[in-house]
Structure formats: C-alpha cells, structure tokens
Structure 1
C-alpha cells in the first residue's frame, strides 16, 4: 500500500452492501486488519473476497496489542482498524490505539461509512440538529435512573444503545424519569431484515413492547426528544394538585395521581413534596 499508517474503517451495521468501495479497497490493500472479533469480521471479508490477515483487537487485549500495531506502523506498514459493526471507537475499542498513534506522530486516516447513531437519527423523526450520545446506560436500574435524571434538562435529542435483555427495563425507566408523554423512538435491527422503528410517547412504547415481544429482540438505538421547557409548567401544576390532594391521600398516592393527570414523572412530583416538607 502506498501510504502507511492507521486506517479507521467503518463497516456495515447489518446489511453487508452498505460498505463503501473505498473501504473494500483499503481492507484489501493494508498489511493487517485489527478486528474486534475476527470470527465475526471473517463473514464480511469473505463476502468481498478480502484475504488480508487479521489480528484480534478488543477491550481485553487493547493495551497489549496496541503497542504491537504501533510498531508495525512505525516500520512502514498499513493497519486497518474495524469493529464488529459501524464506525470504530463509538462504544467500541480503539480510542487508546488512535490516541497513541496521534501522540507518536503516526498518520491516522478516516475511512467513513455506516454508523448506527446517524442511521437512527436519519429515520426517527426527532430533532437532529443537536444530539447527545450516551452509549449504553448502566446495567442496574438504580444507576440507570440516576444517569437519566442527570440528563433531564438536556435540550438536545438523547441517543442511547441498548441490548435485547434490557430494552423493556430501560424504556420503563425512561418513562418514570422523563414522563409518559416525552416523545421517543426505538430503532431496532437497523438495515437488517426485521428493521422497525417505534416512534411514540414513552408510555405508548412501553405498552407496545409489553404486547409485542418481537419488538424486544435484536439490537437497539433509542432516541428521546430533548427537554423543551414546557414540562416546568406541567410539573408546577402537578405539585399544586398533589398539595391539594394531601388532605385526602398519602403523599405517595397524591404524587401518583397528580403526575398521571399532568403527564409528568411521579418521582419529580413526590420529590417536590418532600422538598417542601409535605
């Protein structure tokens, strides 16, 4: 290959035909491909008759293998970095390698292409001028809700990755924190045979996932509409209603009724009551 260095190559997120001509040429011409999972990537390489050798490069061996790859690049070789799907470094290994290559003054070349984030933003029908990518949320519910609460006032569209075994719990947590009516989109199996996009208020998505278990299978990108400021008025209305209901109901029940009628998160109403000493 005429130019040595590290080539960061985007690969398909599902449909093998989504790879670029340049990516195929680069992967065919480099001296080595550093792949997150060589068994997985072998399917893609075989589809395009690419015979370049591969080196496993994942989160468990990144520190050790990165030094080996840098030595090869220093010697004049070209190395391509790919992940299992999409653009490397986005919730995938590679940051340490790219950072070290840059710090060593070695060339790093971008070979752009598929990304689940931009694919989801392009079809979700939610604002795409500003967005915040948060990757995977914490596995445990308490930590997950704490993270979501910290994002409660973010005005840009929120973007998350999620797996099939946590999708229902995560959407339920989002409903609890952001409220029933916050608009969201659950993009499932993008570019694959069973691709679907559920776009609705969070309460409706929770109900759809509960009634159609096919919608809980696969890989997911979740997008949630950003905070728009109108929730403050609804929350104030809910707080006033809950305060009035305290003459007849315990605080937890008053908060639940007021939150439901005003379509705001119950937790926020109850927290307001506690802060006011109700």
Structure 2
C-alpha cells in the first residue's frame, strides 16, 4: 500500500455490531501492519477470524496503557506500522490509547486516523433531536451522587447531550434524569445499534421510564441516551394554542395538574406555564 510511511500509528475503527460495517481500507491496514494494539485479544480475534486476517496482537488496556505505550513507541521508532483498535467503534472514545497518541505526537511519529463507526454519532443521526450542536459526556458515573451532580450541572445545557449507559444502571439513570433535569425533557434511547435487536425510542423522560419498565428486554445490551438541550424560556414560547389548552384545563383542574397535562400535550417546559400563571394571578386574571 503506497500510503505507508516509516513508523505509523493507524487508528482503526471496527464495527459496533454488524461486522459488514468495516471498511475495505480498515481490512487492508489490519492485514498489512506489523502488529495490532487491542483492548481485548479474544474480542478482536473474533473480528480478525471472520475476515481471515492473521496478525500479531498486543494487549493494551487501561491497566497497562502507560507501560505498553512506551513499548509501542519504541517499535514505531524502529519503523513499524501499528494499528490501534478498541472492542467496538472508533478507538479513544471511552477507550485506552490517548497516552500512546500523545507520545506519538511528541516523538513526531505519524498518526493516521480512519473514519468509521461510532455509537454516539450513529444514534444521534437517527434520534430526530437537533444535532448541529451537541456534547458527548461518555458513560454516566456509577455512583449516584456523582451522577446526580453531573446531571444537575447539565440542566440548562442548550446543546443536545449524549451519554452511554449499561443495562445495569439505565433505570436508575433515567430516574436521576427526571429528578435532576426535567421529567418532560425529550430523550431518546438507542439500543444495540446495528445489531439484530436494534431499537430507537424517544419520548419525555417520565414516559421513557414507564416504557423501559414495561419490558425488561427494552434495556438489554448497550445503550446510548440522547437528551434534548435546554430551551430558554421566551414569551413567544406560549402560543395561543398552548394557552387555550392551559386555560381550558384550569377551569376544571388544579394549577399543578393543568400545567402537567399542558406541558405533556405540547412538549414544553412546565416553568413557562408556572411563570405565566403567577403573572396572571398577580394581574388578577387567574
């Protein structure tokens, strides 16, 4: 391959589920490099065997990343070509390898990234949520207090927010999103992307929790949580249609219930309705 230079680290994305998603270029590089740095030897071997690729695998995980990076740098300085892969998707995104890449730049070793699968971006593209501005927050913290503190800090984040979550914590995490962000905030759960049991479902946070609880198979496997960004309150947010709904309900129901139902019907923030009600009460209208 004429693109090979002396001492190159290739960052090679691998499929996040469907093995057919790997690129021809990725396969060529995995065949031709001198060795492949992998997060899990057994996992990567499944991929290589599927495509009948034989190569020397070097284990580099979070436990040995610093030491192994030094070893790999020495190999690269000798003119070796090395591919870096993770278990699935694009390396470095929540995976080991950043130390190695930094050392490559310091040592003037060429780093060539390949485009490829990424669960966060793949899920975002199908979410239906505005995606021109977003922030990726990785896995939600496992400890409740740290998780809640993080979610609270993102309550008024206007960009779309992306998290990864496991089946073991998804219910607790959705509960925390409801408590710390907003029960009416629109979120999407993208599960097992590109795999046989792939599903993408979006609704208000409180409804998502009900949906998950209704069937345990809805939270099996790997998940991406996409949260709609905070919408700053504006006077024109409350259209005539919204106000008509609210005022009609208010004739028969309590303020709290009227606000809740109206916000769910029109998918708006409850605070805007409460502010409207407080203003009208002071004006002696409500």
1:85-100 alignment to 2 at 5 Å?
A: 85-100=88-103
Whether 2:174 is the aligned partner of 1:166: answer: no
Contact persistence 1:180–1:265 (CA under 8 A):
no
1:61-210 alignment to 2 at 5 Å?
A: 61-210=64-213
Q: Secondary structure at the match of 1:124?
A: coil
Give the TM-score taking structure 2 as reference length: 0.81
Partners of 2:51 and 2:259 in 1: CA distance: 55
Q: Secondary structure at the match of 1:197?
A: strand
Residues 9-52 of structure 1, C-alpha deviation per residue, up to 9 Å, x if partnerless? 00000000000000000000000000000100100001111101
Partners of 1:182 and 1:155 in 2: CA distance: 12
2:248 is matched with which residue?
A: none
Partners of 1:13 and 1:59 in 2: CA distance: 20
- Stretches of structure 2 that go unaligned for 5 or more consecutive residues are 239-255, 264-268, 275-286
When the two chains are superposed, the root-mean-square deviation of aligned CA atoms in Å is: 2.3
Partners of 2:121 and 2:135 in 1: CA distance: 12
Contact persistence 2:190–2:198 (CA under 8 A):
yes
Q: Secondary structure at the match of 1:93?
A: coil
Partners of 1:207 and 1:128 in 2: CA distance: 26
Once the 2 structures are TM-superposed, how far is the Cα of residue 265 of structure 1 from its aligned partner? 8.5
Once the 2 structures are TM-superposed, how far is the Cα of residue 230 of structure 1 from its aligned partner? 3.0
Residues 219-276 of structure 1, C-alpha deviation per residue, up to 9 Å, x if partnerless? 0010000001139999xxxxxxxxxxxxxxxxxxxxx98985786689xx9xxxxxxx
1:43 is matched with which residue?
A: 46
Contact persistence 1:176–1:265 (CA under 8 A):
no
Higher-Rg structure is 2
Partners of 2:181 and 2:167 in 1: CA distance: 21
Once the 2 structures are TM-superposed, how far is the Cα of residue 142 of structure 1 from its aligned partner? 1.7
Partners of 1:70 and 1:262 in 2: CA distance: 60
Once the 2 structures are TM-superposed, how far is the Cα of residue 177 of structure 1 from its aligned partner? 1.6
Residues 201-225 of structure 1, C-alpha deviation per residue, up to 9 Å, x if partnerless? 1111000011111111100010000
Runs of 4+ in 1 over 4 A off after TM superposition: 231-234, 256-266
Once the 2 structures are TM-superposed, how far is the Cα of residue 178 of structure 1 from its aligned partner? 1.9
Contact persistence 2:155–2:181 (CA under 8 A):
yes
Partners of 1:212 and 1:177 in 2: CA distance: 25
2:281 is matched with which residue?
A: none
2:15 is matched with which residue?
A: 12
Q: Secondary structure at the match of 2:126?
A: helix
Number of paired residues?
248
Partners of 2:92 and 2:51 in 1: CA distance: 23
